[in-house]
Amino acid sequence: MTTNEPVEAGRLTEHEAAALYRLMTWLSPAFPVGGFSYSSGIEWAVEAGDIVDTATLADWLDAMLGDGSGFCDATFLVHAYRAAEAGKDASLCEIAELAAAFVPSRERQLETTSQGRAFVDIARAAWDADRLDAMVAACRTPLVYPVAVGVVAAAHGVPLAPTLHAFLHALVSNWISAASRLIPLGQTDSQRVLVRLEAAVAATANRALLATLDDLGGATFRADLASLRHETQYTRLFRS
């Protein structure tokens, strides 16, 4: 995906255009990883009365993003990407195992491993990438979703920073989509929540780019309890 022809100012190179095209495809709601089936515990939070409107939803998601699974997932994506890019299969395997161990509940485990498997399988079926099969095979543990995104992006030479921002945007968008069906929210209010979280997405991405694996951790205990209690919720629309 390289070219020696001069590029006019403001135009993308062939490689940049291909990378952007793939990134928009992979993290689009239309990419069939089944994200619409999961709420990451938000369904229980709505039933419990923790989330009742745009303000409480934005506060809940801001905490999940900066102090919970959002930051952890972003950090795992960064380290998986760098290990895959450097060809460090042993390190990648260790990161994949640690990422799987960080998932706090059975339903969240189902959510992230199912999406990770679907992401890798579909990307491999639709696009060729050198070493992707070998990298996936090197990991004894199924790749959770953020690790899968990092590995596939690295295999295709898609830059890390935009991959990370796009991943977090897709993550927040899916959370809002689930909440919009549960509270419910209108389309405009959903966009207002997404706008309010714009700075938080950027800040989380920047933190993750600098974070070590020792920086991993969360303080969103209520959100973790929500994912646990959703397992026994009497009526449910979502799988997590």
pLDDT in tens, 63-108: 999 999 999 999 999 999 999 999 999 999 999 999 999 998 999 9
Query: pLDDT tier at 2 (50, 70, 90 boundaries)?
Result: very low
In a domain, 219, yes or no: yes
pLDDT, position 1: 46
d(CA 99, CA 151): 13
Q: Which tens digits make up the pLDDT trace of 130-180?
A: 888 888 888 888 899 999 999 999 999 999 999 999 999 999 999 999 999
* Number of compact structural domains in the chain: 1
**Is the pLDDT score of 3 beyond 80?**
no
In a domain, 19, yes or no: no
In a domain, 103, yes or no: yes
pLDDT, position 204: 98
**Is the pLDDT score of 10 beyond 80?**
no
Which residues have a Cβ under 8 Å from the Cβ of 188 and sit 6 or more positions away?
A: none
d(CA 47, CA 5): 58
CATH number for the domain that contains residue 58: 1.10.4190.10
d(CA 184, CA 190): 10
The residue ranking higher by pLDDT, 4 or 90, is: 90
pLDDT, position 5: 55
d(CA 110, CA 239): 9
Q: What's this model's pTM, rounded to 2 decimal places?
A: 0.94
What percentage of the chain exceeds 90 in pLDDT?
A: 84
In a domain, 20, yes or no: no
* Cβ 36 vs Cβ 29: under 8 Å: yes
In a domain, 128, yes or no: yes
Mean pLDDT of the chain: 93
What percentage of the chain exceeds 70 in pLDDT?
A: 96
Range of the structural domain that residue 91 is part of = 38-231
In a domain, 45, yes or no: yes
In a domain, 12, yes or no: no
